[in-house]
């Protein structure tokens, strides 16, 4: 786990710069030898360092977990999150998973999901986004059916191509299931 936050309850990494730790860099560099991807779980303040790691590994796909972990809807928080997404969007081998979007509010919030989906599509494009349920964690505050309903509603206004990308095409392209 590489995500570090100034709020201790959100912190899972030993330090904010663990994403560019030499051991992490060395091990991530080996993924290309096996055709593997890397699920990158970072907060916005770490995304510049994340781009360094991603840039060093152009043959590896990186999947930004929880769409970059938006922790609140305060203007400074949302602006930092969007800025972080824009930084990582510069690398063509970065994708984002629309998962765990209720993690920081502890509920299934269709308005929050729509906000994240709208901005992620604007910044990354639907062809770099995929749905993830984050179950069983999300089961703490919602049912699978209600979670799917909220995500489908958020994506539907972006058209059928976006729906196909987010609910099928991107995951198939990135994870290459057998």
Domain ranges of the chain: 8-175
What does 58-98 look like in DSSP terms, one character per residue? Answer: TTS-EEEGGGGT----SHHHHHHHHHHHHHHHTSTTEEEEE
Inform me whether the pLDDT recorded for 48 exceeds 90: yes
Contact between 38 and 63 under an 8 Å Cβ cutoff? The reply is yes
Of the candidates 94, 32, 21, 105, the one whose C-alpha atom is nearest the C-alpha of residue 63 is 94
Inform me whether the pLDDT recorded for 91 exceeds 90: yes
Question: Distances from the Cα of 31 to the Cαs of 21, 34, 37, 55, 89, in angstroms?
Answer: 16, 5, 7, 14, 21
Predicted confidence at residue 21, as pLDDT, reads 85
Q: What is the pLDDT of residues 109-146, one digit of tens each?
A: 999 999 999 999 999 999 999 999 888 888 888 999 99
**Cα(75)–Cα(59) distance, integer angstroms:** 35
Inform me whether the pLDDT recorded for 2 exceeds 90: no
Structure tokens at 15: 């330090």
Per-chain mean pLDDT for the chain: 92
Top pLDDT among 65 and 138 is at 65
Burial class (CB in 10 A: 0-12, 13-18, 19+), 114: middle
CATH 3.20.20.140 fits 8-175, yes or no: yes
Considering just the CA atoms, what is the radius of gyration of the chain in Å?
A: 16
**Cα(111)–Cα(147) distance, integer angstroms:** 12
Predicted confidence at residue 16, as pLDDT, reads 63
pTM, entire model: 0.91
Inform me whether the pLDDT recorded for 15 exceeds 80: no
Contact between 94 and 173 under an 8 Å Cβ cutoff? The reply is no
Top pLDDT among 16 and 79 is at 79
């Amino acid at each position: 786990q590489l995500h570090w936050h100034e709020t201790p309850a959100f912190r899972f990494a030993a330090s904010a710069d663990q994403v560019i730790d030499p051991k992490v860099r060395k091990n991530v560099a080996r993924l290309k030898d096996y055709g593997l991807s890397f699920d990158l779980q970072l907060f916005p303040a770490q995304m510049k360092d994340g781009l360094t790691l991603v840039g060093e590994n152009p043959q590896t796909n990186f999947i930004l977990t929880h769409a970059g972990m938006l922790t609140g809807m305060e203007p400074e928080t949302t602006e930092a999150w969007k800025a972080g997404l824009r930084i990582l969007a510069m690398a063509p081998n970065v994708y984002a998973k629309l998962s765990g979007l209720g993690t920081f509010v502890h509920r299934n919030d269709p308005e929050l999901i729509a906000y994240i989906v709208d901005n992620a599509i604007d910044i990354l494009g639907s062809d770099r986004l995929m749905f993830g349920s984050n179950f069983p964690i999300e089961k703490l505050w919602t049912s699978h059916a209600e979670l799917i309903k909220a995500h489908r509603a958020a994506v539907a206004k972006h058209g059928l191509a976006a729906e196909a990308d987010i609910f099928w095409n991107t995951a198939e392209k990135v994870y290459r299931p057998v």
